[in-house]
Structure formats: C-alpha cells, structure tokens
Amino acid sequence: MLAEIITIGDEILIGQIVDTNSAYISKELNKIGVKVYQITSVQDDRDHILQAFEDAKKHADLVIVTGGLGPTKDDITKQTFCDFFEDVLVEDKSVIENVAQLFKKYQLNKPLPANFQQAMVPSKATVLMNQYGTAPGMWLEKDKVVFVSLPGVPYEMKHLMQEEVLPRVIKRFNRPHIYHKTLLTYGLGESAIAERIANWEDNLPNTIKLAYLPSLGKVRLRLSSTGNNETLLKERIDSQMEVLSNMLSDIAVGFEDETSIVDRIAHILNQKNQTLSLAESCSGGAIVKQITSEAGISSFFLGSIVPYKTELKTKLLGVPTTLIKEHTVVSIEVAESMAANCCKLFNTDYSIATTGIAGPTKGDAVDEVGTVCIAIAAPSGVVSEKFSFGNDRFRVIEKTTNKALEMLLKEISKN
Amino acid sequence: MLAEIITIGDEILIGQIVDTNSAYISKELNKIGVKVYQITSVQDDRDHILQAFEDAKKHADLVIVTGGLGPTKDDITKQTFCDFFEDVLVEDKSVIENVAQLFKKYQLNKPLPANFQQAMVPSKATVLMNQYGTAPGMWLEKDKVVFVSLPGVPYEMKHLMQEEVLPRVIKRFNRPHIYHKTLLTYGLGESAIAERIANWEDNLPNTIKLAYLPSLGKVRLRLSSTGNNETLLKERIDSQMEVLSNMLSDIAVGFEDETSIVDRIAHILNQKNQTLSLAESCSGGAIVKQITSEAGISSFFLGSIVPYKTELKTKLLGVPTTLIKEHTVVSIEVAESMAANCCKLFNTDYSIATTGIAGPTKGDAVDEVGTVCIAIAAPSGVVSEKFSFGNDRFRVIEKTTNKALEMLLKEISKN
C-alpha cells in the first residue's frame, strides 16, 4: 500500500523552517510496511491544498497531512477539509473537555476562549485526541482513501502518530513487509567504496536495492527489500549485508538504527568499565552535545571542557605556554598535551582533544582556515593527526566531530 | 514568477534523511523575488520523476531538481532528464578537466576512472561547473520552463546555487519583490500573543500576511508582502512591524535574519566589553554548541565546562559538597554556586549554569524528569529559576538552552 504526506505552510516554502515532520512520518510508516510514494509541501492556500488532496488521492491509500491547525488566524486547513469532504465544522465537546484538562494539568489559570476554534471539527471526522496540545488530529475517509490531519508542532504530531495514527493504520490496511539494513562507514568516500564493492553490487539480486548515503566523512550503505514473507526478507538482506560488511570491515562502524557511533563507543566503554572526557577547542562543544544527546551515557562519560580562549588551555588544562609558543596553538603537540592533561583532570581512561581554526577567518593563526588537530589519549598512550577540513565553519566543526569519534572508536576497539 | 523544487531520493521517502536542501533553495529564491509554489520529494524511479517534471511544468517557470547525481549506481536522474528532453548523454570534456583539477587540488593520487559517468551530460544542457565535487549541475529549457539539476550534497548544491543558478535566474526572469520581516519573541505562547495583538491583526491591510511560527519557548511572527515597488513594500511592512514590536516589547528579542539571540548577546557584550563563560550540566553542551556555531564570538566568549558527573561540580567548579547534600544537585542553590564559581574560574563578567534531569529516567534524583535549574551570574549578583520542562530528553535540552539564553539576554540588557 502507498501513502503520501502533505505538509501545509508558507514557512516551509519560503525556507523559514526545515520540514522535519515528513522524515519522521515516513520512517514510522516504513517500519509498519507502508511505502511513502511522495511528499508534497504546499502553501496555506485553499485551492492549492485542494489540488494536492486530489493528486494524492490518485496514488495513495493513506494521505497524512500536517500543519495548518494552530489556534491563530493564518491556518485554513480545517475549512479546506470541509470543502474537500463536502462537510461542515461542528463543535466537538470532547475536544473542549480535553483542552480544559490540559489547562488544569499545566496550571494555566485562564478560562477557555469564548469562541474556541480548536473545538470545531468536520462533522464526518473521527477526532484523534491530542494529549499535548489544543489542536486535535482528524481521521476522514473518501472513496476508500484515508486522510489524516495532524498538527504541525513536531512533539504533538509525534505523539498523535504513535498513540492514534499508527495503531489505526495497522488495523485498517493490509501491508507487506519492508526491510532495510544500513551499514555505517567512516573514513572512505562514496566512489572509493563503490569501486571496491563493484563486483558484488553487479551481482546483487534485483529484489534487493542498494543506496549510498554520503555525508561529511561518513557514508551509509542501505540495502532494502519488500515482500510478504518477513523471515525470508530478513534472511535475504542479512546474508548480503554480512558479505558487504566483511568487504568493508576496516571502515564499518556498525549498523544504523541498531547503533550510532556514540552507541558503539558507549557499548565498548561500558563493557570495559572505562571512562571518557573531552577537551574541545575548535569543535566548540559539538562532540559533547552529540554524546549527551543520547540517554544513558553517564556510566562512562564524565564531562568536558571547552577552552575556547588560548590562555584557558594553559589555565584549565595545564598546557605549557612554552609548548604553545614553540608549536602554535593549532598543533599536534598542543592537541596531545590537551588530551593527556584532560585525562588527568577528569581522571578518565580516554580523552578526545581538538584544536583548530573553524573559520571563517584565521585571525592571527599561522595555519589556514580548516586546519584541525585531533588527539586521543588512551591508557596505551596518545595518538594524534592533523587535518585540512576546508573553509566552511559548519563543515569544519561537523568533520572534526565525525573524525574525532572515529579515531576514539578505533582506539577503544584495540584488543 | 513561480518556482518548484523537486528532490529525488528514496532516502527522503523512507525518512532516513531530512530534506534540508529545499529549505535552503526556497530561502535563496525568495530573497530574489521568486515565489516557491510547491516542494515535491519523489522516488529514485524514472516514471515518478517524469510525472513530477510534467506536474511542475504546469505551474512553474523554474524547476529546481536536487539529488540523483552521485557517482554510484542508485542514481537515475540524468537518464530521466534525457527522456524528458528527448535528448542523449554526451561526454563533456570540461567536466573531465574540472574533476582532474579537483583531484589535483585535493592531492588525490589516482587517475580518473576509465568510464567516467560524471562527465556524461544531456547534449542540450548548459553545464554548471561544480567546484566542490565531481557531479556537475545542469540548466535545461523546455517550452519556456527552465529546469535546473543540482547534486544532492548540501555543500555542493549551495555553492552551485550561489555561483551559477541565482545569477542566471536574476538575468533570465523578471521578478517582483517579496519582503518579509520576522520578529523573534521568547517566553509567551502563540495563543497568548494572538490574544494580545488581536485588534491590530484584525485591522492589518490585506496586502500584508501575518504568520505565527512557534517552537519550544519561542514564537516568531512573520509579516510578508509582495509587489513591484521595493521601497513601498519595506515601508509598509516596517511601519506595521514597529507597531507590533512595541506591543510585544517585553518579549521581543529582535528581528530574525538580522539577528539571532546569540547575535544580540554578542552585540551587547561586545559593546560593553564584557565576557561570558558557561557551566552546563543537564544541557550537556547544547548552549556552548549554539554559541560557537556562530562566527566571531571569541571576542566575548571564553569557554565552557560540562561537569556531567556530580563530583566534577565540586572538583572543577568548587561547588561545596555540603551544599549539594543539603539541597540536592538539581537545586537553585547548586545552580547559583556553579554560575558564581564559573565566573571566577574563567574570570568572566557573566556565566550561565544549568543543572537538571534531562531524562528519560530520573536515576537516583529526588525531582522528576524535566526539572531544570538555571542560574545567571552577573556583576550585580546571581539570578536563578527552577523549571519543569516535561519528560522528553531532546525537548528538555532545547528548552533549557532557549530559556538560559533568554535569561542571559535579560540580565545583560539591564543598563
């Protein structure tokens, strides 16, 4: 079965916000065997929305619409649903009751507005109660195609997907199985990987699709297959994935969804009962943010220092001023000293240290913008490397983060 | 004039990546007066791409297509362009020359592949040379509609947009002016703002559009207008924006695009010649990352400590163990001590400190998940506040970051 996603909002079409809702909805539908045929972003405009509804209905069994349900006046989605379904808006008492409960829960001491627009829904709609906001979701059907309307606020949309939409879709539609497995690799480019696995790729059965997903120092390789027999699908993909990961064992980090690089690092450090700290200069907190974004890291991660100013490298981390003078602050020597001293300060087994010039200007630095030194301090000693990561600040920080985690993983994986 | 954006790639439709390219392209087109009618994401499938091309041609004068140009075998865009334009692929010598130069520049010691697919382009296409990657962009025309094909790698796409596409669009099309101005507010919800400005909103001339863009503790309010007289447009919007920002002066931070909250903070601290440091526990580096993402912050920002483990709050920041025992680690008292001591350690005028329970579990904490204490140390003393930010780790970290920056801005704005 096929689904389409329609996101409504001028803010998307003028580039003011990035549409993250579609990616979330696609991923969740995919997990339950629903293939997304197309994603369409349209304006807050009645005729345009109606046209998108008509087009989607041609291909899809399920159309999920987000956005255009806020309490304020720029939203016209609900009225357009009425036009499309030849329906009228009626007041739904359960929505009023739900919002009153929410107000009470969050101790908002104010009465509901007299003319409470959020409680007005198309009479033919099944209301999907929103436990985290005032705009309800809606489930409507026309010529056997199901239309679902969800608020655009990601948090509310996600809860409605999990609690209301997915269970109803599972009940309502027969779906095949879709199985993906994605190998995460670090350190080799897309073309180089393609060259190495060309023979194998040429001989892949046509029931299996391979996709390359490159981004800043990492390449993800996805194998996909669709069918009715879940066990067979899994076997088919898993056996090919085993061949692939063996061919790429020197650059493979693990499988995505199962594991991120931080997961892999956490797993190994927890197993060894070892710990980690960070001293980030040019990466400016990007590594610590990536680590602390994942839950359950306090077992091995102790903390981080961002000594952005040069003198703080000396004051907080004890990097000798003579070393900085002799080699400059962006040097292998300073990175190694930062990493070794960071281990001592935090009393950890491992430390990552970064120092470099993220740009856009080089200030009074000797090296060019994009020069970055990364050091990993380990019980066995300190390793380090110097890189040129180009002249784009955002990319320099991203590449430093990816490379540093890759280097750490390599070190902690030894014996 | 109208544009459409088509992004090609199964990875978007299975939710493996978020389509950030469309937001970038929309924003850039908007700046030069090109309105984006629709954004459509389609599969790596010939028939589907052809259908999207046909549909786009009905509305748009300009169709920008991204993705499907990589060196590997999952990409079919170029062949589909040939089908649509009744054309054939021919080898373009200038692409080969360009890639050879790139290989030389990045000191890749390898010859070009014998069968170099990237150099094959439709014979009717104007090649847009890619200075940062091997896949060239293409510019084609059919029935007065311009189709542009760009690689999906964001960095390469952005450079091609700036250096090739936008200058050509400006030359090729007559465009009206589009003017937006967006007010950034912190601390009040969408409904509450709407209530406060209802009278004004009701009386807005219908040439001006107002949109509410809420997200985690901040609401952006956008005014837009389109026309041929740029001066008139600006005057029209600016005068309404002045009224609006006066009505919301207690929650307005500044205008977006002109200024982010970090920009505002940088501006004030630079003017006062004052400095900032951070002690982030539960926000785990999210604040330092947001600050260091912007260029030119080293004039006022000295550094940050992330004392993730409780004992590090004592060891690195000198928070007394008795204080932690008496009030627990997630307390106003501990946050205030962290902030005050952070100022001393880094020798800065201001410090932000955060301590809380980001979740998903509360561990051995006394308070519930989502409890966060934020303190700001200033020359005039320390202010602090305790919050409940809900039980979603990602949102707790985001809300902590937004609230902490809002509290800091308030403090540094006091004469």
Per residue in A212-252, pLDDT tens?
Answer: 887 777 888 989 898 888 889 899 999 999 999 999 988 88
Collect all residues of chain B within an 8 Å Cβ-Cβ radius of residue A286. 285, 289, 292
Angstrom distance (rounded) from CA B267 to CA A182: 45
Residue-wise pLDDT for A48-64, tens only, equals: 999 999 999 999 999 99
Residue-wise pLDDT for A137-163, tens only, equals: 999 998 999 999 999 988 899 999 999
Q: Which residue has the higher pLDDT, B93 or B104?
A: B93
Give percent of chain B with pLDDT exceeding 90.
59
Q: With cut-offs at 50, 70 and 90, classify the pLDDT of residue A351.
A: very high
Q: Does B210 touch chain A (CB under 8 A)?
A: yes
Which residues are registered as beta bridge partners of B226? B178
Within 10 angstroms of residue A198's Cβ, the number of other Cβ atoms is: 12
pLDDT at residue A392, as a whole number: 82
Q: With cut-offs at 50, 70 and 90, classify the pLDDT of residue B257.
A: low
Angstrom distance (rounded) from CA A7 to CA A67: 6
- With left for phi above 0 and alpha for psi between -120 and 50, is residue B296 left, alpha or beta? left
Contact A173, A34 (CB under 8 A): yes
Choose among A236, A244, A242, A200: nearest CA to A219. A244
pLDDT at residue B113, as a whole number: 62
Q: Tell which A residues from 326 to 345 touch B, by Cβ distance under 8 Å.
A: 345
Collect all residues of chain B within an 8 Å Cβ-Cβ radius of residue A27. 14-16
Residue A259 in this model has a pLDDT that exceeds 80: no
Can you list the alpha helix ranges (DSSP code H) found in B86-197?
93-105, 154-160, 166-172, 190-196
**CATH architecture classification, B261-413:** Alpha-Beta Complex (3.90)
Distance (Å) from the C-alpha of residue B199 to the closest C-alpha of chain A? 12
Angstrom distance (rounded) from CA B27 to CA B19: 14
Residue-wise pLDDT for A3-42, tens only, equals: 999 999 888 998 888 899 999 999 999 888 899 999 999 9
H or E, element range at B209:
strand B209-215
pLDDT at residue B258, as a whole number: 59
CB pairs under 8 A between A and B: 283
Q: Per the structure block, which two tokens stand in for B59?
A: 């509305």
Burial class (CB in 10 A: 0-12, 13-18, 19+), B363: exposed
Collect all residues of chain B within an 8 Å Cβ-Cβ radius of residue A394. 293
Q: Can you tell me whether residue A39 is helix, strand or coil?
A: strand
pLDDT at residue A257, as a whole number: 62
Can you list the alpha helix ranges (DSSP code H) found in A60-130?
77-84, 93-105
Q: In which residue are the tokens 């010529």 written?
A: A143
CA angle, A332 then A333 then A335, to 5°: 65
Q: Does B316 touch chain A (CB under 8 A)?
A: yes
Q: Per the structure block, which two tokens stand in for B63?
A: 């169709």
pLDDT at residue B214, as a whole number: 79
Residue B259 in this model has a pLDDT that exceeds 70: no
Q: Tell which A residues from 243 to 272 touch B, by Cβ distance under 8 Å.
A: none
pLDDT at residue A109, as a whole number: 61
- With left for phi above 0 and alpha for psi between -120 and 50, is residue A257 left, alpha or beta? left
CATH class of A2-172: alpha beta
Indicate the fold that domain B177-255 takes in CATH.
Alpha-Beta Plaits (3.30.70)
Fold match flag (A2-172 vs A261-413): no
Using CB atoms, pick whichever of A16, A36, A190 lies closest to residue B13.
A36
Contact yes or no for B16 and A182 at CB 8 A: yes
Residue A358 in this model has a pLDDT that exceeds 80: yes
pLDDT at residue B134, as a whole number: 83
Mean pLDDT score, B389-399: 86
Q: Tell which B residues from 177 to 206 touch A, by Cβ distance under 8 Å.
A: 178, 180, 182, 190-191, 194-195, 201
Q: Can you tell me whether residue A241 is helix, strand or coil?
A: helix
Residue spans per domain, chain B: 2-172, 177-255, 261-413
Q: Which of A260-264, B10-14, B70-74, B404-408 has the lowest mean pLDDT?
A: B70-74
Q: Does A394 touch chain B (CB under 8 A)?
A: yes
Mean pLDDT score, A96-124: 76
Q: Does B152 touch chain A (CB under 8 A)?
A: no
Q: Which residues contact B14 (CB under 8 A, 6 or more apart)?
A: A26, A27, A30, A36, A178, A180, A224
Closest chain A residue to B297, measured at CA: A308
Mean pLDDT score, B361-384: 90
Collect all residues of chain A within an 8 Å Cβ-Cβ radius of residue B38. 13, 40-43, 48, 52
Residue-wise pLDDT for A168-187, tens only, equals: 999 999 888 888 899 988 88
Contact A366, A345 (CB under 8 A): no
Q: Tell which B residues from 25 to 44 touch A, by Cβ distance under 8 Å.
A: 25-30, 35-44
pLDDT at residue B324, as a whole number: 95
Angstrom distance (rounded) from CA A310 to CA A329: 7
Contact yes or no for B74 and A212 at CB 8 A: yes
Mean pLDDT score, A350-367: 87
Collect all residues of chain A within an 8 Å Cβ-Cβ radius of residue B212. 70, 72, 74
Angstrom distance (rounded) from CA A61 to CA A173: 9
Distance (Å) from the C-alpha of residue A286 to the closest C-alpha of chain B? 5
Q: With cut-offs at 50, 70 and 90, classify the pLDDT of residue B112.
A: low
Which residues are registered as beta bridge partners of A138? A127, A149
Q: Does A72 touch chain B (CB under 8 A)?
A: yes
Q: Does A306 touch chain B (CB under 8 A)?
A: yes
Q: With cut-offs at 50, 70 and 90, classify the pLDDT of residue A328.
A: very high
pLDDT at residue A113, as a whole number: 62
Q: With cut-offs at 50, 70 and 90, classify the pLDDT of residue B254.
A: confident
Q: Per the structure block, which two tokens stand in for A229?
A: 């027999």
Closest chain A residue to B3, measured at CA: A13
Using CB atoms, pick whichever of A17, A36, A194 lies closest to residue B72.
A194
Q: Helices A46-59 & A77-84, crossing angle to 10 degrees?
A: 50
Q: With cut-offs at 50, 70 and 90, classify the pLDDT of residue A110.
A: low
Interface test with B, best of A292, A317, A344 (most B CBs within 10 A): A292
Within 10 angstroms of residue A415's Cβ, the number of other Cβ atoms is: 4
Most confident of the following: A65-74, A359-368, B231-240? B231-240
Angstrom distance (rounded) from CA A48 to CA A7: 12
H or E, element range at A147:
strand A145-150
Residue A114 in this model has a pLDDT that exceeds 60: no
Core vs surface per residue B387-400: b (16+ CB within 10 A) or e: bebbbbbebbbbbb
pLDDT at residue A346, as a whole number: 95
H or E, element range at B406:
helix B393-413
Average pLDDT taken over every residue of chain B: 90
Contact B48, B14 (CB under 8 A): no
CA terminus-to-terminus distance, chain A: 48
pLDDT at residue B160, as a whole number: 95
Residue-wise pLDDT for B207-224, tens only, equals: 898 888 877 778 889 898
Give percent of chain A with pLDDT exceeding 90.
58
Interface test with A, best of B166, B292, B343 (most A CBs within 10 A): B292
Using CB atoms, pick whichever of A22, A74, A284 lies closest to residue B210.
A74
